[in-house]
Structure 1
Amino acid sequence: VAPPQDLRITDPGLLGPLDVEWKPPPHVQTFNECSVKYKFEYRSTGDRDWKVIFTRKLKFRVGFDLSRTAEVRLQTLLKGRCTDDVEVQSDWIYATFQIPPQGELESEVQNFHCIYHDWEYLKCTWQPGLLTPRGVHYGLYYWYKGLEHALQCEHYIQQQGINMGCVLQNLSQAEYQDLNICVNGSAAATLLRPLYTTLRLHNLAKPSAPEQLVLSVSAAQELLVAWSPPGGRVPAHCLEYEVQVAEDAGEAAAAWAFVSTQTETALTISRANRSHVSCVRVRGRTNIFCADQGFWSEWTQDCFSVPRKEDKQLFILIPVILSLSISLIIFMLIGQCKKRSPAGKPLHAPVGY
């Protein structure tokens, strides 16, 4: 069987996805008693493995890293009565696509970093490339499935008048799919290398710190810890929490010790050393059921003080000591008054009528 014909790759301008199309092999209509399908494989240069699709279609849109060369290969698969039910494979045909190189590699922005805060907004920042001229202007463009065309950032973060970051909002439709981004730069008479990247928002999520952390001690001297999930759009079932505890060690600074990683928002901790003060801190991140990775939130921390045994004894002794002291003072005052009065005479002169 012959391979497909006229394999072509075109760029629809969506910052990552490319359109790949081809024509059937010649005389395919003569294979009435066999099914014809295609084995379509693609990758970006440098990837070890090919991604594979079996299809009867003649066109596909697939994502690539546009900073590298896109590679595609295709073959015809024929099987049926015309081949005695044995699959026959054609030779491979190949095609590549590369955006024309622009600017020096060192002019590409560096330290590109994004965080999806509270599943509400995406904040991306970057630094100028090593070969960046003065007067540079950066622009961030993005696209995800559902948009008709690529859009430019509307809310830039500036440093000394230069765009060094971007805040994107209302991205709920882009969750759990590819978000394609390009950061391009321009300067007078100088071409800068654009940066292309593909993000997955759920893997960049960073929730706010847990709220309403409450500590108490049970009758069995166990530390009871409870908190509430953070606000925002973070799905509660997508969160896991890390709990750490530090016990007061007197004059020495106590180290934080790991206690648990869990999805529940309450925990009972045994206070083995019965220390005077217990401090607990809790932070959260997206769990493995909702993301492959994520950023930990900031810590929420609180401390709980339990009176020492000697403190309780002191609380009991203080009223007793005060009572004895007051009684002693009263007796001393009475004694002083008796000493000052003449012998055998009343303390007060009689009142005449």
Structure 2
Amino acid sequence: AGKKGSAIENFSCVIYDVSLMNCTWQAGRNAPGDTQYFLYWKNSRDDNETECELYIKGENGMHTGCRFQNVMIEGKTTYFLVDGISSDSQIQFYDEYIELCEIERLTPPLNVSVNCTVNPAGCTITWQKPRASYEKPEHCFTYEINIQNKVKTISWADICKGCIYFSVNTNKYEFENYNVKKKYILKIRARGNSCTINKSWGEWSKPIEFGKPMEYIYIFILLQCLQTFL
């Protein structure tokens, strides 16, 4: 029932920062101008439907989304219903079942660290799996490593020349192309490899600088000179 084309369109939800979720939508193409939408959701058939507590509002105060807090992901298939009202006509409803684990945007890997040696030249990069609202085994993740040569540029888009990307299924990587005369910038992100985890790439970790720039050579020479005079 309801006016054709009045139901919401482009409904999508994303979970981020472990337990926060945003759902957004657009007004139906044929919805009257005074239409107002309301979102209801429940985690099982036996639960009562709960209305959104914090709406995102667009033009004219129309609800165009909802923000959720303290979302629990594990094993949850959630039912969403968006209904509407208008003084002009009845509004069609929209509903959808969503596996919450499939819409989680993974947080960055934790405790990223780099340990480099000069002889032999190389670096060991280690990290831990992303934060989660429930325990996820290590084998469930794939990681992408981005290593860039740091150069003196203006914008982040120009920071790297010859970016290097690696994908690994462990939480350790041996960077063998390390040049002791260069400085590098490292970022890591994760996605689901198996299990019930989103297969899209998550958020990048904060950039970490490692390696020795050219001043390393000058410091070495200065130390040699000081030893000569002592």
Shorter-chain TM-score tier: 0.7 to 0.9
- 1:276 match: 182
Give 1:123's match in structure 2, choosing from 8, 18, 22: 22
Q: Which protein shows a greater Rg?
A: 1
Please state if 1:228 is matched with 2:128. yes
Given that 2:36 and 2:63 are in contact with CA atoms closer than 8 Å, whether structure 1 keeps it comes out as yes
Please state if 1:312 is matched with 2:217. yes
Check 1:255–1:114 CA distance in 2 against 1; reply closer, same or farther (3 A cut).
farther
Following superposition, the deviation at residue 315 of structure 1 comes to: 3.6
Q: What is the percent sequence identity of the aligned residues?
A: 22
Following superposition, the deviation at residue 281 of structure 1 comes to: 0.9
Please state if 1:257 is matched with 2:157. no
Secondary structure of the 2:46 match is coil
Given that 1:224 and 1:267 are in contact with CA atoms closer than 8 Å, whether structure 2 keeps it comes out as yes
How far apart in 2 are the matches of 1:316 and 1:275?
14
Given that 2:121 and 2:179 are in contact with CA atoms closer than 8 Å, whether structure 1 keeps it comes out as no
- 1:247 match: 149
Check 1:138–1:304 CA distance in 2 against 1; reply closer, same or farther (3 A cut).
same
Give the 5 Å matches for 1:52-63. none
How far apart in 1 are the matches of 2:135 and 2:17?
9
Q: Can you list the C-alpha shifts for 1:306-344, whole angstroms capped at 9, x where unaligned?
A: 244x852664258749x99xxxxxxxxxxxxxxxxxxxx
Q: Can you list the C-alpha shifts for 1:28-86, whole angstroms capped at 9, x where unaligned?
A: xxxxxxxxxxxxxxxxxxxxxxxxxxxxxxxxxxxxxxxxxxxxxxxxxxxxxxxxxxx
How far apart in 1 are the matches of 2:162 and 2:99?
36
Give 2:10's match in structure 1, choosing from 99, 111, 122: 111
- 1:132 match: 31
Given that 1:175 and 1:200 are in contact with CA atoms closer than 8 Å, whether structure 2 keeps it comes out as no
In structure 2, what residue type is equivalent to 1:151?
Answer: T
Query: Structure 1 length normalisation: TM-score?
Result: 0.53
In structure 2, what residue type is equivalent to 1:104?
Answer: K
Given that 1:205 and 1:295 are in contact with CA atoms closer than 8 Å, whether structure 2 keeps it comes out as no
* Gap runs ≥5 in structure 1: 1-100, 325-353
How far apart in 2 are the matches of 1:290 and 1:213?
24
Given that 1:248 and 1:275 are in contact with CA atoms closer than 8 Å, whether structure 2 keeps it comes out as no
Give the 5 Å matches for 1:70-109. 101-105=1-5, 107-109=6-8
Given that 2:125 and 2:172 are in contact with CA atoms closer than 8 Å, whether structure 1 keeps it comes out as yes
Given that 1:180 and 1:197 are in contact with CA atoms closer than 8 Å, whether structure 2 keeps it comes out as yes
- Count of matched residue pairs: 218
Please state if 1:191 is matched with 2:98. no
Given that 2:44 and 2:79 are in contact with CA atoms closer than 8 Å, whether structure 1 keeps it comes out as no
Following superposition, the deviation at residue 286 of structure 1 comes to: 3.1
In structure 2, what residue type is equivalent to 1:136?
Answer: T
- 1:200 match: 99
In structure 1, what residue type is equivalent to 2:126?
Answer: A
How far apart in 2 are the matches of 1:119 and 1:248?
32
Farther off after superposition, 205-214 or 267-276 = 267-276
Query: Structure 2 length normalisation: TM-score?
Result: 0.78
How far apart in 2 are the matches of 1:295 and 1:158?
28
Given that 2:2 and 2:89 are in contact with CA atoms closer than 8 Å, whether structure 1 keeps it comes out as no
In structure 2, what residue type is equivalent to 1:289?
Answer: C
How far apart in 2 are the matches of 1:298 and 1:275?
30
Higher RCO, 1 vs 2 (CA within 8 Å, ≥6 residues apart): 2
Following superposition, the deviation at residue 250 of structure 1 comes to: 8.0
Farther off after superposition, 297-306 or 197-206 = 297-306
Secondary structure of the 1:312 match is helix
Q: Can you list the C-alpha shifts for 1:255-310, whole angstroms capped at 9, x where unaligned?
A: 42221232x3322111255551122110123331233x3442221121213244x8
Check 1:250–1:151 CA distance in 2 against 1; reply closer, same or farther (3 A cut).
closer
